[in-house]
Amino acid sequence: MGEEISCDYAGRVPVVIGILKGAAVFLADLVRALTIDVEVDFMAISSYGRGTVSSGTVRLLKDLDLDISGRDVLVVEDIVDSGLSLDYIRRNLETRHPRSLSLVALLDKREHRQTGVDVGYIGFPVPDAFVVGYGLDFRELYRGLPEVAVLSPEEIEGPVSDGSAAGRFSLGGTVVGEPSLGGSVAGGSSLGGAGLDGSGSGVAGGHGA
């Protein structure tokens, strides 16, 4: 993915916008896989609250610091679910008259799509389950897991953890995989997409939120 974006934006300096908080880890790896200069900014929105299903109502919690008028913009998200959040962000940013606007997502849960939002760069499609790790959370926990893992029904329905379990492990016995810049991933397979550096490595098969 990094190689593809670098090729598409050769000779330009795009603004890369990370959607907090979930995309922070993915964005950090992605920008280091790029071979072009970029500027980085962040937006924060809310659509999940403390549940596992998007509420359908999107609120803007933090706006950009940079002026993107006349700039090439890449919006980086952790996962596309209903598409409502990204569609809101796209429409919001288009009012600021960027030169171009493209959307980037690590994970894509197409089964839940409710909009026709066009995501230009997708890491891996995932079926219907709730995943955590590599920046993705459940009730603000598990973001620090180095792998992407399926959250078990017991974890979702049980009492809120104190966070002490958030380590290198598989929740509910299923590890989706470890996002990778170059080496092989957990399970030694990929989901038919390129890794961050275009090598073909990335998240091994599993489920998304």
- Tokens 């659509």 found at: 47
Written as one string, the DSSP assignment of 110-173 is GGG--S----SEEEEE--BS-EEBTTB-BTTBSTT-SSEEEPPHHHHHSPPP-STT-SSS-GGG
Q: What is the pLDDT of residues 89-144, one digit of tens each?
A: 999 999 999 999 999 999 988 776 777 788 999 998 887 888 889 999 888 889 99
pLDDT of residue 38: 98
Q: Is 81 an active-site residue? A: yes
* From 81, 87, 137, 197, the catalytic residue: 81
The confidence score (pLDDT) of residue 48 equals 53
Whether residue 185 is predicted with pLDDT greater than 50 in this model: the reply is no
Global pTM exceeds 0.85: no
CATH topology assigned to domain 2-188: Rossmann fold (3.40.50)
pLDDT band at 148 (very low <50, low <70, confident <90, very high): confident
How much is the pLDDT for 60? 84
Instruction: Summarize pLDDT for 30-79 with one digit per residue, the tens.
Output: 999 999 999 999 999 876 555 545 555 777 899 999 999 999 999 999 99
How do the domains of the chain map onto residue ranges?
Answer: 2-188
